[in-house]
Amino acid sequence: MSRTLTELATASIQSLLDRLAAPATPPAEYKHIMYQLGFEHGKALRDKLEGKSVGIACTVEDADFLAQGIIEGLRGSVSSISVACFWNKRFPGDETRNIPDTAPIQRKYSEPTIKSVDSLIVAKSIISGACVVKTNLTHLIRESNPSMIYVVAPVMFTNAKSNLEKEFASDITRRFAYYYFAQDDQKSADNNVIPGIGGNVYQRLGFEDQDDKNHYTPELVINRRRNLSSGKSTSLSHA
């Protein structure tokens, strides 16, 4: 197995990635590391997104950790942040028989302002087959038209970019920019990237399985929804 680090991966980020991949890291610490990695991603994007209205799309399992970290890392830079959170359920296909993997959206939280953002961040703890990312991104770009789409993940599998880009026409993929700290090129027998993020993210975060994580509502969603319904500005808002 081999891991390639990107120029974004400072020594402290490398240390976070190592702790994330370590089997002994307990869920509470794992969540905090994921938050810290999100924070580093947010910081790395600050200059690019200065003064822009930004949308962040994430999955339920990433919302309170990776996505919340990105939001905090962007604080003081962007003009506003809108959030969309998706509860997906993955169904594996069969690549050898051209049957696609699918990840239908069972539920979503989507702030109305995400339809008019300048830039969209699609955040995922790890991108491998890109099935969940393509599903949620497809959904969002049918109702919005961001000029830039930042695909953000602490770790990506070696062919994740090509997997993602074949899901879209070139007028969409030319807006993609990738931000990740490490790229891995090997998977285990149970299809987890090695070292990746230390195995199955649901289990590492303390969920039993994908059905279990789909019964969870992130604090990020609960808090932003309360602000939205009470008329308070949610857009990070003004970090």
Partner 1 sequence: MQMDNLELSKKVCGLAASAYLANKHRGGKAGGEGVQYENWFAVYNAAKLVTDTIQNGLPAPFLSTQTVDFVDDFVILWNEDSCHQHFQLKNTENVSWSSGDHPIADDFRYQKLLNEGAGVGKTSATLVLPCPEKAGRLQKSIPEDISNYSAVEQFAFGETLNHLLQIEPKLRDALASLCVNADLDKIERLGSLFVGEWVSNCGTPCNLMDLWEGVLRHEPNYVRSLSRVDILEKFEAILMQIEGFHYTMGQGFFEWSYLESDSGVLEYSVVSEKFFEFQRIIVMEEPSTFEELERHLI
Cβ count near 165 (within 10 Å): 17
Residue number with CB closer to partner 1 (36 or 235): 235
Q: For the CB of residue 118, give the shortest distance to partner 1 in the complex, in Å.
A: 21
Residue number with CB closer to partner 1 (93 or 199): 93
Amino acid making up residue 6? T
DSSP letters spanning 143-193: T---SEEEEEEEEEETTHHHHHHTTS-HHHHTTEEEEEEEEE-EE-TTS-E
Residue number with CB closer to partner 1 (102 or 237): 102
70/85 Cα distance (integer angstroms):
14
Residue number with CB closer to partner 1 (129 or 196): 129
Q: For the CB of residue 226, give the shortest distance to partner 1 in the complex, in Å.
A: 9
- CA-based torsion, 207, 211, 215, 218: positive or negative: positive
Q: For the CB of residue 126, give the shortest distance to partner 1 in the complex, in Å.
A: 20
Chain Cα centroid distance, residue 25: 21
With both helix axes pointing from N to C terminus, report the angle between 11-21 and 27-49 in degrees, rounded to the nearest 10.
140
Residue number with CB closer to partner 1 (19 or 90): 90
Q: For the CB of residue 78, give the shortest distance to partner 1 in the complex, in Å.
A: 20
Q: For the CB of residue 106, give the shortest distance to partner 1 in the complex, in Å.
A: 6
Chain residues in the site for partner 1 (CB under 8 A):
87, 89, 91, 93-94, 97-100, 102-112, 134-135, 138-139, 142, 166-169, 211, 214-217, 222, 225, 228-229
